[in-house]
Structure 1
């Protein structure tokens, strides 16, 4: 299977006079799960929004397989994005949302899932927060894109659902490159093949968990 590479370079972003990101570099290959860590306000969600094109940034450089994507209106054919906010309208039925989002040839396989089966007869507006989040995550992962950006995927999920979602992510990483950030840092670290810490506006590639203590992200390794 051909390996694909997403590279993001030169990302800078400031709000008013406060520098959020400064000359950030990020690389993700298919079969990799990049765990993006950082304190609140460090710029994790901002970086994902810049990559997908929801936020502008001067001098950004985005390449997929060495081909520049800077001048394209969007990169949605290559990159899927799960935002923190709900993206499926409440008035839709779950079945309709699946029909609109999933390739017809994949729908049967998509629905062969006890959690999806349990909500097929409901409307989006009647789902619990965890049910909705699971549906959104699975829809985004089933996209044909080469890369997936997941912003706070564990939000609202029970511990059992977190384990199910982690298995989904691992399975999809066999063919995709995945970047994930979440306040549930233990699961991010657990599932990632490479951890990247955003600190002082820059990305730091973490070689081992002890570096998270050295760089002040964790107080003690026992927190893992």
Structure 2
């Protein structure tokens, strides 16, 4: 079992503190769900964990190794951002070889979800099709910990259900941190739930607490 230890994450822009002493532990075999309103800086937190931006303070450790730069995160943490990430004019089947190890190349290539796109280039796909491909490439990548920021955006309920099943299957050997505004889907697959609000990451036990923190209306 591997552990991703995230501690003392702060981020300030000018005099405004947007992340305040964020702490989170994710282990392989678990799915951690992070909820939060628009503007709560979930994406900023993900980018700090992945290493594309620096926190004002941060302590991120993979097992016994402190992660100081992007190279330290290679094959340890993979990140699905909200924006498109795949290069254009490269066939999806060739991108699979770049993202995945030999074991996972066959697994992802055999998925009915991705088969229609294997011989397509990323720039020929619709937004929803591209989201499917990107999400699957990150899930089946070489990394042990997977950060998914809005993986269900613009996808049909049927596709979302299939991807949730895949996440749970892959979480047997990987750790997932996932955020999406479709909170019911996040709640369904997560082993632990957190709410990012006012810069703080709060552990959530049930829907009642989400209502108490004004993330959900009193009646849903």
If the TM-score is normalised by the length of the shorter chain, which range does it land in?
Answer: over 0.9
Which residue does 1:127 correspond to in 2? 125
Does the CA-based 8 Å contact 2:51-2:70 persist in structure 1? no
Does the CA-based 8 Å contact 1:7-1:27 persist in structure 2? yes
Moved beyond 4 Å, runs of 4+: none
Q: Deviations over 1:119-154 (max 9, x none)?
A: 223221111222211111111111222211001111
For structure 2, list consecutive stretches of 5 or more residues without a partner in the other structure: none
Give 1:73 shift.
Answer: 4.3
TM-score under structure 1 normalisation? 0.92
Change (3 A) 1:120 1:71: closer
Q: Deviations over 1:66-124 (max 9, x none)?
A: 43223664412211111111111121122222233222443233211222221223221
- Count of aligned pairs: 220
Matching of residues 142-161 of structure 1 within 5 Å: 142-161=140-159
Matching of residues 157-176 of structure 1 within 5 Å: 157-176=155-174
**Cα RMSD, aligned residues only:** 1.6
TM-score under structure 2 normalisation? 0.94
Does the CA-based 8 Å contact 1:196-1:204 persist in structure 2? yes
Which residue does 2:65 correspond to in 1? 67
Does the CA-based 8 Å contact 1:93-1:124 persist in structure 2? yes
Give 1:209 shift.
Answer: 1.5
Does the CA-based 8 Å contact 2:51-2:69 persist in structure 1? no
Which residue does 1:5 correspond to in 2? 3
Matching of residues 77-156 of structure 1 within 5 Å: 77-156=75-154
Q: In structure 2, what is the Cα distance between the partners aligned to 1:45 and 1:221?
A: 28
Give 1:189 shift.
Answer: 1.3
